[in-house]
Structure 1
Amino acid sequence: MFTIEQIEAAHSNVKSGADFPAYIRDIKKLGVTAYDVFVADGHSDYYGDNHYKTSSPSAHEPLTIADLVDAEKFKQGLKEHQQGKTDYPTFMTMCAMCGIEKWTVLMDSMTCTYYDKAGNEILAEQIPQ
C-alpha cells in the first residue's frame, strides 16, 4: 500500500491549485481511493483498498473554523486558488475564515466536496482529468 512519504513526494510538486489535477492523478496511481483534508490542522486521512487508512501529521498551527459559512467568498477564494493566485497556506486560512471544515476527494467519481462544521455540503466539484 501507499505511504505518507509517497503522498508527500507527489504533493511536493503542487505549487498552487492549478497543480491539483496532476496531484490527484499521481496519488490515484499510488492506490489512494479517497481522502479527507481537515482545515483546522491541515492533516489528511488517506484511504485505499481493503479498508487501508493512513494519516498525515498536522501541517500547520491550528486554525479556527468560522461558525458561519460564507459560501460566496469561499467560491471566489477557491477560484483564485485554482488559477494559481494563492498558495496552499493562504487557501487553508481562507477556508477556515469562510467556515469550511474539510474537503473530501473521491477518486472513483473524481469529485472534491467541501463541508462545513455541521457536515453540510457547501460545494462539490468535478476534478479535471
Structure 2
Amino acid sequence: MIICVSAGIFFFFAGAVGFLRFPDFYSRMHATGKGDTFGILLCCIGLSMYNLAAHPSWQLGVVQSVKVLSIAVFWFLASPTATHALTRSAFVSGVKPWTRDGIPVREREEEEGAP
C-alpha cells in the first residue's frame, strides 16, 4: 500500500523536476504528462489496497476501491488526451522545439532534403 503511494508521489515529483529542468515546451509537457498519469495511477492503486485492508466490512471497502479505481481509469484516459491537445495546439501555433545547435527542426529537415 505505502509502496504504491510512495512510488506515485515519486513520479509526481519527477514530473515537477522535469518541468523545471527541461529546455522547451514539448519536453516539459512530456515530463508532466507521463509523471502525473503514472503517479496518480500508482496512488489510486495504493489507496484501493488500503480501502480493502482497512475496512472491517468488505463490501464498503470494495465499493470505495471501485470508486478510486474508476477515478484512476478516467485520469488514465483524460490526462494523455489533454497533454496531446495542448502539445498539438502549441505546434499549430508555431512553438518551435529546442535543438542543441539552435536550428529549428523544420529548417534542418529542409537543409537535409527531407520530404
**What TM-score range do you get, normalising by the shorter chain?**
under 0.3
Task: Considering fraction of residues, name the structure with more helix.
Answer: 2
Normalised to the residue count of structure 1, the TM-score between the two structures is 0.25
Return the index of the structure with the highest Cα Rg.
2
